Structure 1
């Protein structure tokens, strides 16, 4: 048994025809002696390329699950789905499905959702439902998610921001930026970073779904997103995204945010 990549991929012989096939050397649940019990795709009547594609996507899915756990291991974001009946009946759920469909049809599409509302109402969970839907359609490795603080916070030097954003966005089909409006950085640098990010979104190769969550009270005014990220970035994001919310009740404590309810019910609930 010759290793082609140490502790990752090995060559083993098919038990029926003797042809060499590639297998992962360490996979969960593999029984002892599995190397002598391998059947190649031809003997199983399967297409090799399709089988390998499934293997690669399975690995990508595993990486996505680990990334979600590193983001928050307790929230259950990996189970968030647009297929839930309670989601399908909401405006944001329908908007998300339309965004995914648009990106399937147009390789230059830009679509998305900006979730407004208080803490604890499920904005981030909804954002991950969109991410998981994109993972199923476009592949798990094309999902990006991060808090604004981690992406734009003060630990990144101003001259490193452009490269950081380029590296983060490269190859994405969906981006989720969580908790917009709290990054610890000078206001002018925040606005410059958002301007750079929006420019890169506009020039991104391939379709892209943009998802954001924020406690900011809408786009306009002193407490809106425009005051935080600047007029130009706000204009572009409003062009690409739909305003959405998941309510005004904290799902952890059942607290009703009266002020938010008054604001959000000025228009039909989304």
Structure 2
């Protein structure tokens, strides 16, 4: 099999999910298929040399194509070609997870998404529906991760205002369980809640306070955090479940969690004062 044939075969492995992402971004199956085909043309020309995470990279390419289409549509004030909800947006291993996703992406959500600015729509869809980290979304919308988080937060508030379900409660349960395990030094429970390739990242200020700049792998992250979150409290960080450590009522470190399929995939420790000042922190009842 030639190099281009191999790339085409690998692309086809991701086509269903890429189409699901594009469909939710664009609200039209026909436009989604066009976006995926345009992404394939770009990928086939550019090749994949140096690409470590093909699925993530392909999602980025499709998202850029879709964002361009959204911006062009906004300029022409066009509506999507079709708005019928799809019974299956992307393949998931757990039927219960598929049911949760189906509940959150029906026709009513599509109506709300159509009212969002293109960058807000992209940030919300990629993060909340497809679990793409903010630091990967940020370059697509030409903003910092903190600003991208704010985009998703604004979109999330509009979704809630419309009375539509989101994944917040399920993520809250995961984060709450993680904090309990960390406080109690329950290494086994931490390990069970972490994705095998989980990563913990700290900004320079948090690193200066004694945190590691980066820790990779579930075992290493669980070992690093075991017994360390005794003073952390459960909060919503720009609408997403996370935690904060405060000193005399002033936030010092925010724990921003990324949760996918019931597992913690990333934790970002944020301590830079301007970053903290830009976050919306809402206390949650401790369980």
Compute the TM-score of the two structures, normalised by the length of structure 2.
0.30
Normalising to structure 1: TM-score of the pair?
0.31
User: Which one has the bigger helix percentage?
Assistant: 2
Larger radius of gyration: 1
